[in-house]
């Protein structure tokens, strides 16, 4: 009965940790074997019998009877006189099985057993949590804000699992209070030591894709497929959709009448501007659609370099590039092509890189970030517009404009 009482004491952990009794018994056996190995040097000659229904556990030590004074290993051998105290008719060479009571291990060993059990149960829980959330990577998830720090938000789900949302996984317009319910996706799960670290994200493209599945029935039912999502979180996104049923307009179904269907998604993402585009396997047509709202005159692609030369009317260039170069950058990510913009009707032009002896490389790179990589593309704007579009100082831009104008004046 001593063993049962001790095990009942240990098994109280299972109610707190929601661990089933059979698993607890298996953990108990591992813990006890470790304790036996520490006390006796080996656990190979011990039998541990577990009855999970009764919550009982028996430990038996098996030894061989040897003549008195001939024992070389007290753990595996027992002298004849000692053996006959257990059973008077034992003879040399016979096997003796003797029950070991937990209380015989000593108070300190029992305390160590208890501590080791707690550790093993925590490890078991953490492994299960890791496996559970590993299967949820990329899936939409809801959790409650528990603690707000400077660079991270800590959330708890209904089971008390901790999720971490770093600053760069939050949409810039996000503002949270303790107790708020937040939607996002499980982006990654890592085991650091024995503790799982669950990263929660609202900026991942997968979050927008899963919102489409939740909010648009045709996507949920598989009638419309989301082919690819690219985002500048909180600013702009492009979503390529396709339907295998010609009777369904995938863009119209996703946007809804006057944007009714997509409005909830836009609001969830802090008013992120979402362009929904008809997917096509034709790269020229796909690039044309991806540069919406700009109207493209022609597209010439090079599949070897994965570059595309796009010709537009001068008034369409700013639309194609977008604010801060966001539109052309997302179009490139969506289609997989590096997109170069050219103005229709302007024959003479010079790559900005040709002026590297007069203009610093970092300045050229700043212009290129917003799609301005030729002399004419810069000269088509006044200085105030260029200041708004780039991170460059007015004096720097004025000097660049002067250099470029001299080139064409010459």
Q: Report the CATH number that the domain containing residue 170 is assigned in CATH.
A: 2.40.50.140
**Using one digit for the tens of pLDDT, what is the confidence trace for 233-245?**
999 999 999 998 8
Q: What are phi and psi of 159, to 5 degrees?
A: -95, 5
Sheet holding 224-232: strands in order across?
224-232, 236-243, 273-278
Residue that finishes a domain, picked among 279, 302, 335: 279
Q: Are residues 7 and 127 in the same domain?
A: yes
Q: Classify residue 153: in a domain, yes or no.
A: yes
What's the total number of domains in the chain? 4
- Of 102-106, 189-193, 194-198, 238-242, the poorest mean pLDDT is in 102-106
Of the segments 21-30, 42-51, 223-232, which one has the largest average pLDDT value? Answer: 223-232
The residues, any chain, with a CB within 8 Å of residue 18's CB and separated by 6 or more, are none
- Is the pLDDT at 346 greater than 60? The verdict is no
- If asked whether residues 213 and 158 sit together in one domain, one would say no
Instruction: Clarify whether residues 213 and 191 are in a common domain.
Output: no
Q: Does residue 359 form part of some domain?
A: yes
Query: pTM here?
Result: 0.64
| Percent of the chain residues past pLDDT 70, beyond the cut | 90
Q: What is the mean pLDDT of residues 268-279?
A: 94
Is 22 part of a structural domain of the chain? yes
Same domain, 216 and 262: yes
Q: Does residue 66 share a domain with residue 89?
A: yes
Report yes or no on 325 lying in a domain.
Answer: no
Q: Is the peptide bond before 294 cis (omega within 30 degrees of 0)?
A: no
Same domain for 248 and 235, yes or no, is yes
Domain boundary among 97, 113, 131: 131
Are residues 66 and 117 both part of a single domain?
yes
Query: 377 and 269, same structural domain?
Result: no
The pLDDT of residue 404 is 86
Burial bucket for residue 84 (CB in 10 Å: 0-12, 13-18, 19+): middle
Q: pLDDT at residue 208 above 60?
A: yes
Last residue of a domain, one of 131, 149, 174: 131
Domain holding 357: CATH number?
A: 1.10.150
Say if residue 123 is in the same domain as residue 183. no
- Amino acid 1: pLDDT: 38
One domain, residues 174 and 275 = no
Asked, for residue 293, whether it belongs to a domain, the answer is: no
What integer is the mean pLDDT of 187-209? 92
Task: Report yes or no on 214 lying in a domain.
Answer: yes
The closest of 15, 18, 13 to 31, measured between CA atoms, is 13
Is 100 contained in some domain? yes
pLDDT of residue 407: 77
Domain that includes residue 264, residue range: 204-279
- 385 within domain boundaries: yes
Q: Based on the fold, state whether residues 212 and 196 are members of the same structural domain.
A: no
212, 205 contact by CB (below 8 A): no
Q: Same structural domain for residues 171 and 258? A: no
């Amino acid at each position: 009965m001593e063993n049962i009482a001790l095990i009942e004491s240990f098994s109280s952990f299972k109610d707190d940790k929601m661990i089933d009794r059979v698993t607890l018994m298996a953990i108990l056996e591992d813990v006890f074997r470790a304790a036996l190995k520490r006390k006796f040097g080996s656990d190979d000659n011990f039998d541990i019998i577990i009855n999970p229904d009764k919550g009982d556990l028996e430990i038996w030590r098996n030894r061989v009877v040897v003549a008195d004074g001939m024992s070389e290993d007290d753990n595996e051998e027992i002298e004849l006189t000692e053996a006959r105290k257990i059973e008077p008719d034992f003879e040399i060479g016979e096997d003796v099985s003797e029950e070991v009571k937990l209380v015989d291990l000593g108070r300190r060993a029992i305390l160590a057993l208890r501590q080791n059990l707690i550790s093993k149960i925590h490890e078991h829980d953490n492994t299960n949590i890791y496996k559970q959330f590993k299967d949820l990577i990329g899936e939409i998830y809801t959790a409650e804000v528990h603690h707000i720090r400077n660079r991270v938000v800590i959330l708890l789900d209904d089971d008390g699992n901790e999720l971490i949302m770093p600053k760069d996984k939050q949409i810039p317009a996000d503002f949270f209070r303790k107790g708020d319910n937040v939607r996002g996706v499980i982006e990654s799960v890592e085991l650091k030591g024995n503790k799982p670290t669950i990263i929660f994200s609202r900026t991942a493209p997968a979050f927008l894709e899963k919102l489409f599945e939740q909010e648009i029935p045709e996507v949920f039912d598989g009638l419309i497929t989301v082919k690819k999502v690219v985002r500048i979180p909180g600013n702009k996104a492009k979503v390529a959709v396709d339907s295998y049923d010609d009777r369904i307009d995938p863009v119209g179904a996703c946007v809804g009448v006057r944007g009714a269907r997509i409005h909830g998604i836009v609001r969830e993402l802090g008013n992120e501007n979402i362009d929904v585009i008809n997917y096509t396997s034709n790269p020229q047509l796909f690039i044309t659609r991806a540069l919406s709202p700009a109207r493209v005159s022609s597209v010439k692609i090079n599949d070897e370099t994965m570059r595309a030369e796009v010709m537009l009317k001068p008034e369409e260039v700013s639309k194609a590039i977008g604010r801060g170069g966001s539109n052309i950058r997302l179009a490139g990510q969506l289609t997989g092509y590096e997109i170069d913009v050219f103005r229709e009707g302007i024959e003479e032009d010079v790559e900005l890189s040709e002026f590297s002896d007069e203009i610093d490389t970092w300045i050229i790179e700043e212009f290129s970030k917003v799609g301005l990589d030729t002399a004419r593309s810069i000269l088509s704007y006044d200085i105030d517009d260029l200041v708004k579009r780039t991170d460059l100082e007015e004096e720097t831009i004025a000097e660049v404009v002067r250099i470029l104008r001299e080139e064409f004046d010459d």
